[in-house]
Amino acid sequence: MSSTVSFTVPTPHGPRVMSLAHTRVGAGEPLVLLHGIGHHRQVWDPVVPVLAVERDVICVDLPGCGESPALPDGLTHDLPTTTAVLAALFEALGLERPHVAGNSLGGLLALALGRDGLARSVTALSPAGFWSQAERRYAFTVLMAMRQIARRMPPPVVQALARPAVGRTLLTSAIYARPARRSPEAVVAETLALARAQGFTETLRSGRDVRFTDDITGIPVTVAWGSRDRLLVPRQGVRAKYILPRARLVRLPGCGHVPMNDDPALVARVLLDGSRSAARRTP
């Protein structure tokens, strides 16, 4: 079921009211799914049907993305603020330490929530924050180019380009290893979402000095990386394992930066295994 929830976020300037759009489906322990910068919650659609058999799946549009409005004036689209917003969302939805999984920026947010004791388990797919400065500059350059292209193309042009496989490849090959598998409708929707993402520029700007350097203890952590990730290259997964020595590092063969569409069955299994490991740790 798709809906929007409003809630209050404590800030240094006093409590602020905001809202986030989300979709909730399935039954079982709650699993929150977080997308990457400029994307939207529908990116998880290929894996949700499998996950919903065992989990209460909550797909969230991050602030300024998809159907969620940007943060109120005075709040910055940075890691601490977005983490605080998600913590307030969990409380509003009655979620006490849910399982959290994320991709790219969403993976970084999932790790931050786990570090702060707000998640029962964390699964991060190609998370941001384990880059060198050169790798970060490259990734940001690609993302800005994708954003500029998306903003300059009228919707009818996007629709025409997304029909043939070669057009979908041109639009999305930076993030998918198998872009032709993405449906034309999905490519159009995510290209328009990228063009319209209100928090994109500020989020990118705030990420210039972001590095994840904290170990996470007490909960299961899985870091998974696509072998054909062209945006955040797979060697960053080795750095993540060094910083998170207790984490399970999983390779996703043949998958790109956004692996959910490249191999839905594999990604769904990784997400379920990551949350099942929390149950195995329970006395």
Q: How many residues does the chain have?
A: 283
Burial of residue 152, with CB atoms counted within 10 A of its CB: 0-12 exposed, 13-18 middle, 19 or more buried: exposed
3-state secondary structure of 123: strand
CATH topology of domain 2-131+210-281: Rossmann fold (3.40.50)
Question: Quick one: pLDDT at residue 16?
Answer: 84
pLDDT digits (tens, 9 = 90+) for 131-178: 999 999 999 999 999 999 999 999 999 999 999 999 999 999 999 999
Residue 197: closest CA among 18, 59, 20, 40: 40
Confidence of residue 39 (pLDDT cuts 50, 70, 90): very high
Beta strands 248-252 and 221-226: pairing type? Answer: parallel
Percentage of the chain surpassing pLDDT 70? 97
More confident residue, 277 or 167: 167
Phi, psi of 148 (to 5 degrees): -65, -40
3-state secondary structure of 106: helix
- Mean residue pLDDT of the chain comes to 94
Average pLDDT over residues 103-125: 98
Question: Quick one: pLDDT at residue 112?
Answer: 98
58 has which bridge partners? Answer: 24, 32
Question: Quick one: pLDDT at residue 281?
Answer: 53
Instruction: Give the list of residues 6+ apart from residue 133 with CB closer than 8 angstroms, or none.
Output: none
Contact 197, 64 (CB under 8 A): yes
Domain residue spans in the chain? Answer: 2-131+210-281
pLDDT at residue 279 tops 80: no
Sheet architecture: strand order including 55-60: 2-9, 16-26, 55-60, 29-34, 99-103, 121-125, 221-226, 248-252
Question: Quick one: pLDDT at residue 283?
Answer: 40
Confidence of residue 2 (pLDDT cuts 50, 70, 90): confident
Structure tokens at 77: 């689209």
pLDDT at residue 59 tops 70: yes
Contact 32, 271 (CB under 8 A): no
pLDDT at residue 14 tops 80: no
Question: Quick one: pLDDT at residue 29?
Answer: 96
pLDDT at residue 280 tops 70: no
Question: Quick one: pLDDT at residue 9?
Answer: 84
Q: Across the chain, which distance is largest between two alpha carbons, in Å?
A: 56
